[in-house]
């Protein structure tokens, strides 16, 4: 190989090297050429910024937008966007195809019975709850409040007794007594329980259990005088 051929081959190899390709030559001078090509000679960042500022002054504020996103990144972003759009279109097409394969008439009969089955359990507890539970709860509350009121006054002496549950409980006792009398008329005695017991000086209805003033069946058998449940 003469020198001119070597020069030509070296020139071609350098062209490839500068284009970023692999040089097709084994010339030892290529090592020097490679060193020269790969020398990291860059201006400092401050000089870069100064140059940017200069360009902005010369050409305007918006001329450097191209440098912020390199062309490779812009290409990748464009490809990603295209791929996303393509995937969306394909997805929509698939969904449309699936929807078109489903029979339209069979959709509503399947849904309607389901709703019909589901609706009774959802709606039925509401009237049951209100119709049954509400009066029961009211009755319990009234009973408890009455009993509490009576229990409060049960320890007070009978002649001082003037409380709201007196008549109510008495009436109840009378009713019970009447029932007892109706069941057992052997004694024939009629006791006016609204009158105080003269011998004991006590009103029998709210008195604790004692030998002289027993009222009867409706009186609780304890010291606290709790009412009958």
Partner 1 sequence: MKTRRDVHFRFTNAIEGIVPESRLDFAKLFWEHYQRVYRYIRFRINDEVVAEDLTSEVFERAFRYRDSYDPTRSAFSTWLGRLTQNWVSNYLTHQQFRHRHEMPLDRDSEHLASGDSMLEDTIIHQEDMETMLACLEQLGERDRQVVALRFGSNLRNKQIAELMGLQENLVGVILFRALERLRACQDKS
- DSSP letters for 88-118: HHHHHHHHHHHHHHS-STTHHHHHHHHHHHH
- Identity of the residue, 35 or 192, whose beta carbon is nearer to partner 1 in the bound complex: 35
Q: What DSSP designation does 24 have?
A: S
Q: Are 202 and 213 in contact (CB under 8 A)?
A: yes
Nearest approach, Cβ of residue 75 and partner 1 (Å): 16
Instruction: Give residues in contact with partner 1 (CB under 8 A).
Output: 3-4, 6-8, 10-11, 14-15, 18, 28-29, 31-33, 35-37, 39-45, 47-48, 50-51, 54-55, 58-60, 63-64, 66-67
> What's the rounded Cα separation, in Å, for the pair 57 and 34?
37
CB of 79 to partner 1, least distance (A): 22
Shortest distance (Å) from residue 43 CB to partner 1:
5
Nearer to partner 1, 10 or 180 (CB): 10
Based on CB atoms, which residue is closest to partner 1, 37 or 148? 37
Please state, in angstroms and rounded to a whole number, the distance separating the CA atoms of residues 63 and 72: 19
Alpha helices in 19-70 (DSSP H): 29-37, 45-59, 65-68
Q: How far is the CB of 22 from partner 1 (least distance, A)?
A: 17
Cβ proximity to partner 1, 21 vs 129, nearer residue: 21
């Amino acid at each position: 190989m003469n020198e001119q051929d070597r020069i030509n081959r070296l020139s071609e190899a350098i062209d490839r090297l500068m284009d970023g390709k692999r040089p097709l030559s084994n010339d030892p001078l290529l090592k020097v050429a490679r060193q020269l090509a790969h020398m990291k000679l860059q201006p400092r960042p401050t000089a870069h910024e100064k140059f940017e500022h200069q360009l902005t002054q010369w050409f305007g504020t918006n001329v450097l937008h191209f440098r912020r996103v390199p062309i490779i990144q812009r290409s990748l972003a464009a490809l990603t966007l295209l791929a996303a759009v393509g995937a969306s279109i394909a997805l929509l097409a698939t969904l449309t195809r699936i929807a078109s394969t489903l029979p339209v008439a069979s959709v509503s009969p399947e849904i309607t019975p389901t709703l019909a089955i589901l609706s009774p359990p959802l709606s039925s507890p509401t009237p049951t709850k209100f119709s049954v539970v509400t009066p029961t709860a009211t009755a319990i509350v009234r009973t408890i409040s009455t009993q509490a009121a009576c229990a409060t006054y049960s320890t007070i002496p009978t002649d001082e007794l003037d409380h709201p549950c007196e008549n109510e409980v008495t009436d109840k006792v009378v009713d019970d007594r009447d029932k007892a009398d109706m069941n057992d008329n052997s004694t024939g005695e009629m006791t006016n329980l609204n009158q105080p017991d003269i011998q004991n000086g006590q009103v029998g209805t709210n008195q604790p259990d004692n030998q002289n003033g027993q009222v009867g069946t409706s009186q609780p058998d304890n010291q606290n005088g709790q009412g009958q449940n």
